[in-house]
Amino acid sequence: MGRLTDDERVVITGLGCVTPLGIGAENSWRAAVEGKSGIGPLTHFDASEYTSKIAGEVKNFDPEEFMDPKEVRKADRFVQFAVAATRMALEDAGIKINSYNSHRIGVYIGSGIGGTWTWEYNHRMLLEKGPKGVSPRFVPMIICNMAAGHTAILIGARGPNLSAVTACASAGHSIALAVQAIKSGIADVMIAGGSEAAISPLAVAGFCSMKALSTRNDEPQKASRPFDAMRDGFVIAEGAGVVILERLSHAIKRGAQIYAEVVGIGFSADAYHVTAMSEDGDGPARAMKMALDMAGLSPTEVDYINAHATSTPQGDRAEVKAIKRVFGEYASRVAVSSTKSMSGHLLGAAGGAELIFTVLAIRDQIAPPTINYEYPDPECDIDCVPNKARRMRIDVAMCNSFGFGGQNSVVLVKRYEG
pLDDT tens-digit map of 249-306: 999 999 999 999 999 999 999 888 987 888 899 999 999 999 999 999 999 999 999 9
Distance separating the N- and C-terminal Cα atoms of the chain: 18
Fold entry, domain 10-253: Peroxisomal Thiolase; Chain A, domain 1 (3.40.47)
**Which one of 150, 308, 380, 384 is the catalytic residue?**
308
Torsion angle in degrees (nearest 10) through CA of 318, 385, 312, 262: -60
Which secondary structure element, helix H or strand E, spans residue 304, and what is its range? Answer: strand 304-306
Give mean pLDDT, residues 357-363.
Answer: 98
pLDDT at 310 over 90: yes
Whether the predicted pLDDT of 6 surpasses 70: no
Q: Is 44 a catalytic residue?
A: no
Q: Residue 238: is its pLDDT beyond 90?
A: yes
Query: Considering the chain, what is the average pLDDT of its residues?
Result: 96
Return the pLDDT at 5.
73
Q: Is the pLDDT score of 215 beyond 80?
A: yes
Amino acid making up residue 284: P
Query: Which of 345, 380, 384, 399 is an active site residue?
Result: 345
Which residues, at least 6 apart from 75, have a Cβ–Cβ distance to it below 8 Å? 63, 67, 83, 141, 146, 150
For residue 173, indicate whether it is catalytic.
no
Which of these, 23, 14, 148, lies nearest to 75 by C-alpha position?
148
Q: What value does the mean pLDDT take over residues 19-30? A: 98
Residue-by-residue DSSP string for 312-331: -HHHHHHHHHHHHHHHGGGG
Which amino acid belongs to residue 397?
Answer: A
Q: pTM (2 decimals)?
A: 0.97
1 band by pLDDT with thresholds 50, 70 and 90? very low
What's the whole-number mean pLDDT along residues 27-40?
Answer: 98
Catalytic residue among 17, 144, 150, 168: 168
Domain ranges for the chain: 10-253, 265-411
pLDDT category of residue 2 using cuts at 50, 70 and 90: low
Tell me: the pLDDT tens digits for 87-107? 999 999 999 999 999 999 999
The pLDDT assigned to 274 comes to: 87
Give the pLDDT confidence score for residue 112 in this predicted structure.
97
Does residue 308 have an active-site annotation? yes
Rounded average pLDDT over 16-45 = 98
CATH for 265-411, among 3.40.50.261, 3.40.50.300, 3.20.20.80, 3.40.47.10? 3.40.47.10
Please write the tens of the pLDDT for every residue from 320-346: 999 999 999 999 999 999 999 999 999
Q: 364 pLDDT exceeds 70?
A: yes
